[in-house]
């Protein structure tokens, strides 16, 4: 007579990674709900034929070794970080992604990431095992511990006045718009387990169909830490725990939910260069010349155009085949704080963008001048705004006071104080860049307002003449 055999599927036959003598038994305590859930998920993976296309994310907690058991792709991640890793796997591949987390992992240390992943509607199936305690570490209070429930860290019972109230994950996640399916089940007696089985199969099924965030909370017995027999613990879950955590479906948009299809990201160098408007850099500068590095520090108040002046010098270098680096440093203020940037122009690869001894310092205000003037290399140049008045230069340093605003006004371009500084730098020759480099950079920086290019070119010429006479 032929037989139909109901047995465990979707899990490995033995668990050699576990070590020890009992390689065919789980590491879970007698009566633990984890084993029951492992079997149900394994069966679902097997029946849906997705073992080869599923990735299980194991958490930290009792189920840290879930990867010993599930016969599918496995990753074990840091405490509470399953949503982040699951997001990465789900977005980078077409795999069915399942995270398996306990109450400490998901509702405490991983609560933020859980809510964010749910809110983004990531294509992941989340199994949340709620047994009201931190099991692996010995039964400490968890976010889900019931009011009055005794644990090793609340030996008199959880007191809401000092420890707050139990956290309800299904209810929290149901406040978000994106999740597709949210349900709470219990793995206690056969009736509840059968009901749970249907729901547990739905989670990977949804992922197979690309339907988005599916959250299944599983009330599960921890006889060891609740210090009761398995039978009594299951009774306690049914009679006490479900009063705090009512079973049932909180959301089911499975039927309406369309498959989530995200735009493909293009991280090619060409796409990124285009996005950031960057030119080409190379190991060796395209010009083929070999020149010493030129290091420029530009400093001033935030809002004075310090950083953009730096990018213009870097762009000038790029446009004639130099390797360049541009390295900003600024305070948290959008306007008014101090700000500086370091620009290196080189014909070789640049090791570090940090500058300690600039060849050229452009100081837009006195505090910046005082802060950096003694760093300038002997023989170097300091260009500063003439508005500062009398300034004492360090020995061997050439100082050039530029009446930037006045020159801009005289040239009929009152918004061009920055271009004035740029023009002075061009005229000085410290950067070893040809004239065309500065014109290229000007055209590049006004690429979105081409009508401003001629007036700024005119200003550049005007400043060059001024610099010949004054610098």
Partner 1 sequence: MEIDKTKPYPVINPLECKSCSRCVVACPKQCLSIGKKLNERGYYAAEYAGTGCVGCASCFYSCPEPNAIEIHIPQKG
Helix residue spans in 209-252 (DSSP H): 223-226, 230-236, 242-244
CB 223, min distance to partner 1, A: 7
Min CB(327)–partner 1 separation in Å: 56
Segment contacting partner 1 (CB under 8 A): 138-146, 185-193, 399-407, 448-456? 185-193
Q: Are 98 and 57 in contact (CB under 8 A)?
A: yes
End-to-end CA distance of the chain: 106
Q: Which stretch binds partner 1 (CB under 8 A): 124-132, 224-232, 288-296, 324-332?
A: 224-232
Which pair of tokens denotes residue 211?
């339907």
Contacts of residue 437, Cβ cutoff 8 Å, sequence gap at least 6: 316, 317, 319, 320
Q: How far is the CB of 57 from partner 1 (least distance, A)?
A: 20
Beta-bridge partners for 214: 125, 181
Q: 464: Cβ–Cβ under 8 A, 6 or more apart, which residues?
A: 423, 426, 427
- Least Å distance between CB 97 and partner 1? 23
For residue 35, give the nearest of 227, 187, 190 by alpha carbon: 187
Is there binding between residue 6 and partner 1 (CB under 8 A)?
Answer: yes
The smaller minimum CB distance to partner 1, of residues 36 and 442, is found at 36
Residue 8 sits in the site that holds partner 1 (CB under 8 A): yes
435 binds partner 1 (CB under 8 A): no
Residue 457's contacts (CB-CB under 8 Å, 6 or more residues apart) are 439, 442
Toward partner 1, which CB reaches closer, 39 or 202?
A: 39
What's the closest the beta carbon of residue 15 comes to partner 1, in angstroms? 9
Measured from the CB atom, the residue of 27 and 322 that comes closer to partner 1 is: 27
What is the per-residue binding string for partner 1 in 21-60, x denoting contact by CB under 8 A?
A: -x-xxx-xxxxxxxxx-xxx-x------------------
Q: Is 198 in the site for partner 1 (CB under 8 A)?
A: no
Q: Which one of residues 5, 255, 258, 261 is an interface residue with partner 1 (CB under 8 A)?
A: 5
Helix (H) or strand (E) holding 98: strand 96-102
Which class for 262: exposed (0-12), middle (13-18), buried (19 or more C-beta within 10 A)? exposed
Stretch that binds partner 1, among 11-19, 106-114, 176-184, 445-453 (CB under 8 A): 11-19
Helix (H, G, I), strand (E, B) or coil at 157: coil
CA distance linking residue 359 with residue 93, whole number of Å? 49
CB of 69 to partner 1, least distance (A): 7
- Select from 199, 216, 185, 205 the least CA-distant residue to 257: 205
Out of 95, 197, 208, 464, point to the residue binding partner 1 (CB under 8 A): 197
Contact between 449 and partner 1 per CB under 8 A = no
Contact region for partner 1 (CB under 8 A) — 8-16, 135-143, 256-264, 433-441? 8-16
| Near partner 1 in 60-89, by CB under 8 A | 69
Provide the 10 A C-beta neighbour count for residue 401. 17
Nearest-approach distance from CB 74 to partner 1, in angstroms: 16
Q: Which is nearer to partner 1, 9 or 470 (CB)?
A: 9
| CA 355/CA 340 separation, integer angstroms | 11
**Binding segment toward partner 1, per CB under 8 A, in 193-201, 337-345, 351-359, 405-413:** 193-201
Task: Tell me which H or E stretch contains 129.
Answer: strand 125-130
Query: How many positions of this chain bind partner 1 (CB under 8 A)?
Result: 39
State the minimum distance, in angstroms, from the CB of residue 217 to partner 1: 19
Secondary structure class of 350 (helix, strand, coil): coil
Q: Of the ranges 192-200, 242-250, 255-263, 313-321, which one interacts with partner 1 (CB under 8 A)?
A: 192-200
Q: How many C-alpha atoms does 425 have within 13 Å on its Cβ side? A: 35
Among 153, 195, 230, 329, binds partner 1 (CB under 8 A): 230
Cα(23)–Cα(28) distance, integer angstroms: 12
The residues of the shown chain that bind partner 1, judged by CB under 8 A, are 1-8, 11, 13-14, 22, 24-26, 28-36, 38-40, 42, 69, 189-190, 193-194, 197, 223, 229-231, 234
């Amino acid at each position: 007579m032929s037989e139909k055999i109901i047995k465990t599927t979707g899990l490995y036959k033995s668990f050699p990674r576990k070590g020890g003598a009992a390689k065919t038994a789980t590491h879970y305590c007698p009566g633990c709900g984890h084993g029951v859930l492992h079997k149900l998920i394994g069966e679902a993976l097997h029946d849906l034929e997705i073992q080869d296309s599923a990735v299980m994310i194991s958490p930290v907690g009792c189920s840290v070794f879930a990867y010993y058991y599930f016969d599918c792709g496995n990753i074990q991640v840091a405490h509470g970080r399953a949503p982040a890793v699951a997001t990465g796997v789900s977005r980078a591949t077409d795999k069915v992604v399942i995270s398996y987390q306990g109450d400490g992992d998901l509702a405490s240390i991983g609560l933020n990431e859980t809510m964010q992943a749910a809110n983004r509607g990531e294509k992941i199936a989340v199994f949340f095992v709620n047994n009201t305690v931190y099991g692996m570490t010995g039964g400490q209070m968890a976010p889900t511990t019931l009011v009055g429930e005794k644990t090793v860290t609340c030996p008199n019972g959880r007191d809401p006045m000092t420890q707050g109230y139990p956290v309800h994950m299904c209810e929290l996640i149901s406040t978000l718009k994106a999740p597709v399916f949210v349900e709470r089940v219990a793995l206690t007696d056969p009736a509840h387990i059968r009901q749970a089985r249907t729901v547990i199969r739905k989670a990977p099924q949804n992922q197979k169909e690309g339907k988005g965030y599916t959250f299944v909370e599983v009330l599960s017995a921890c006889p060891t830490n609740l210090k009761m027999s398995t039978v009594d613990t299951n009774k306690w879950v049914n009679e006490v725990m479900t009063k705090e955590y009512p079973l049932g479906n909180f959301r089911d948009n499975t039927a309406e939910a369309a498959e989530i299809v995200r735009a493909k990201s293009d991280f090619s160098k060409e796409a990124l260069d285009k996005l950031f408007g960057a030119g080409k850099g190379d190991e060796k500068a395209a010009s083929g010349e070999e020149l010493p590095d030129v290091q420029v520090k530009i400093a001033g108040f935030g809002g004075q155009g310090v950083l953009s002046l730096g990018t213009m010098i870097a762009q000038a270098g790029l446009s004639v085949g130099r390797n360049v680096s541009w390295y900003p440093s600024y305070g948290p203020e959008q306007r008014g704080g101090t700000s500086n940037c370091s620009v290196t122009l080189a014909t070789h690869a640049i090791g570090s963008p940090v500058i300690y001894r600039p060849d050229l310092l452009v100081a837009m205000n006195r505090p910046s001048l005082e802060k950096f003037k003694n760093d300038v290399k002997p023989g170097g140049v300091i260009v500063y705004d003439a508005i500062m008045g009398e300034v004492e230069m360090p020995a061997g340093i050439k100082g050039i006071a530029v009446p930037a605003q006045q020159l801009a006004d005289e040239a009929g371009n009152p918004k061009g104080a920055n271009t004035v500084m740029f023009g002075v730098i061009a005229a000085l020759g410290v950067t070893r860049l040809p004239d065309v480099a500065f014109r290229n950079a000007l055209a590049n920086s006004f690429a979105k307002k081409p009508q401003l290019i001629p007036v700024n070119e005119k200003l550049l010429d005007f400043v060059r003449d001024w610099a010949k006479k004054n610098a």
